[in-house]
Amino acid sequence: MIGADKSRDPVHASRRRQPAATVLAAAAAAGSTGSQRQALLRLLRSAREAGSSGRHHHGLQAAETALQLAGEHGFEHLRSEALALLALHRFRLGQLADAIPPGLEAASLLERPADAAARAEVLCTVAMACNELGLAHDGLKYALEALSAARLCQQPLMLSWALNRAGLCTFSAVGDLEQSVALLQQARELAAQHGHLIALFSAINNLGSSYRTAGQLAQSLAQAGAAALLAQSLDYFQQAATLATTTDNPHLQATAIINLAEILTDLARYDEALAELAQGRELARCGDFTALQHRADLAEAIILHRTGQLPAAIAVLQRVLALPAEQIEYEMRVLAHEALYRVYKDGGQFEPALRQLERLRQLEQSLADKRSSTQGWAIRKELEITSARLETERERLKAEHERLRAVRLEAEKSVAEARMSELEQAVLVDALTGVGNRRCLDREGPERLAQLQGGFDGMAVVVLDLDYFKSINDRFGHAIGDDTLRKVAQLVVLHTRSVDLVVRYGGEEFVLLLMETSQEAAVATCERLRLALMDYDWSTLHPLLHVTTSLGMAWQNQPQDWQAVLRAADLALYQAKHKGRNRLEVAPAL
């Protein structure tokens, strides 16, 4: 799809390289005055500001210099920010494979609860880079990790962006338009509630993009409903264009107008599309937004092709492809070659059409190599991080045991063991599934229950257990069992709202805190979730795998003893198991 969400963030603008005098001067000043830390802070500020203004070449230079300076002078606490900014600017410049390693490295350094917002932000970048590189399932994995981190940090704007990314990656990975739209609508509502125009624009724009992709797919398969999907896409793009006019952001406006031109082209409204293209191209030219100019050129070529002006279409596409590699994004080059192939073929020029196919094959092989290399790097990095953690823990435990043996005081040993236990419980996220853990529930459950009639109208405590999970491990192995738990967690997160809490309570048991206004609404949510888990295509994990769940629910609309409510939900789960499993039972009122 032309421009398939390249503008999903309005600050995305591939400008020509800006002078790096400011960046270099800061580094030079660090060497001459010894104030390396101040120079590093200036570089990081410059990289952040470049991201907001779309000067990504300048931002890339600043981030690279900041990363080098942080490494040379041991500023480890600032290194994670330099890595995150490096990933962001590489992504914005279309360097997708090169954006992922620094992003994952930054995320590995941001594991404290206090770093949840920064971790969510960089994982959003990694998710989008994976998604655009064609690693859709990896993109969904990192988007869901970003969503978990955003829920922990409790920042509405960050949560809006994470929901936005999860919505896009859900559609790319599993083709679930309904769930994608639900997540994007949540992102839209949060952005609107908190008055953030850029996040609101992005959510509306991506709703248009999701419907457009679905409509194009239906159109290519000659399916009924394609026109309705494209019409819905047009409506969202028109809303985004109207919103863009209320800002003074020229990149936002150019993006919205070119998106509008592209969907009008899909609907064969060529005169309207050309009028929008003229306006969007002028805005892109004035702002020096080269990526948007290329999108406008490609859209114009498609219109020329469809209206029978083949020589003119060829001329436009050849002009785009004649640009140096650093001036045109990889995806745009692929789309231009594909469009040129179709023009040549329709014009009966089969030899040049064949050359375009050969070039497309070469580009696809290059992309496949990049995907393979990136996935390999990510696996090695995860192993490296795990190994480093284990080694650090081993050394820490060894030193602790040596100290205890030297002192030989049982009291001190007890204190140390208690401290070790406390540290083990400090992390609030379950390592296997990425959702909250039992400690998270112990903190959030009593607090939320106590706030009933204050901040919330009602809350359902739901205990969810996988039916016959032991037989899954016995029949298919523990690796499939772990994959099943991870997928269940993903599906539960996708089918609950941002205000809800999902935790893995232990083994195959999960606990959900659903902030509902009535018991009936909570029951409906549980039933939708039960059916979603039952209907999911589990053969993607193993051909013979089938999963059902039993649920016990206790609903409260006033403060109550937390343990009593949790126990009531657990007893309701027991009743669901006793009555045949794969069902929901509701506990009596306390």
Asked if 536 contacts 547 with a C-beta cutoff of 8 angstroms, the reply is yes
> Domain-by-domain residue ranges, the chain?
438-586
State the DSSP H helix or E strand holding residue 464, giving kind and residue range, or none if neither: strand 459-466
Angle at 575 between CA 572 and CA 577, to 5 degrees: 115
For residue 455, the tally of other CB atoms under 10 A from its CB is 10
Of 260, 198, 208, nearest in space to 53 by CA: 198
Place of tokens 């309005």: 10
Burial grade of 207 (CB within 10 A; 0-12, 13-18, 19 or more): buried
pLDDT at 24: 46
Handedness of CA 490, 492, 498, 499 (dihedral sign): negative
Q: Give dist(CA 7, CA 297) in Å, integer.
A: 16
Q: Give the pLDDT score at 537.
A: 95
- Torsion 572-574-576-579 (CA) sign: negative
Single-letter residue type at 429:
V
How many other CB atoms are found less than 10 A from the CB of residue 38? 13
**Architecture in CATH of 438-586:** 2-Layer Sandwich (3.30)
Burial grade of 533 (CB within 10 A; 0-12, 13-18, 19 or more)? buried
Residue ranges of alpha helices (H) inside 245-308 are: 250-266, 270-287, 290-306
CA-closest candidate to residue 181, choices 158, 201, 210, 155:
210
3-state secondary structure of 504: strand
Instruction: With CA atoms as reference, report the closest residue to 186 among 253, 142, 194, 437.
Output: 194
Going across the sheet that includes 501-506, the strands are: 501-506, 509-514, 459-466, 549-556, 584-586
**Looking at residue 465, what is its pLDDT?**
97
Per-residue pLDDT of the chain (590 residues; tens, 9 = 90+): 333 344 444 333 333 444 444 444 544 444 543 578 899 999 999 999 887 766 778 889 999 999 999 888 888 878 999 999 999 988 877 777 888 889 999 998 888 888 999 999 999 999 988 888 778 888 899 999 999 999 998 899 999 999 999 998 888 888 889 999 999 999 999 999 999 998 999 999 999 999 999 999 998 888 889 999 999 999 999 999 999 999 888 888 998 999 999 999 999 999 999 999 999 999 888 877 787 888 899 999 999 999 999 999 899 999 988 888 767 776 788 888 888 889 889 999 989 888 888 888 887 777 666 656 665 655 565 656 566 656 666 677 677 667 666 766 565 566 656 566 555 555 688 889 999 999 999 999 999 999 887 556 899 999 999 999 999 999 999 999 999 999 999 999 999 998 999 999 999 999 999 998 899 999 999 999 999 999 999 999 999 999 999 999 999 999 999 999 999 999 999 999 999 999 999 999 88
**The pair of three-digit structure tokens given for residue 575, joined into one six-digit string:** 């009743």
- For residue 487, give the nearest of 422, 538, 437 by alpha carbon: 538
Query: What is the value of pTM for the model shown?
Result: 0.61
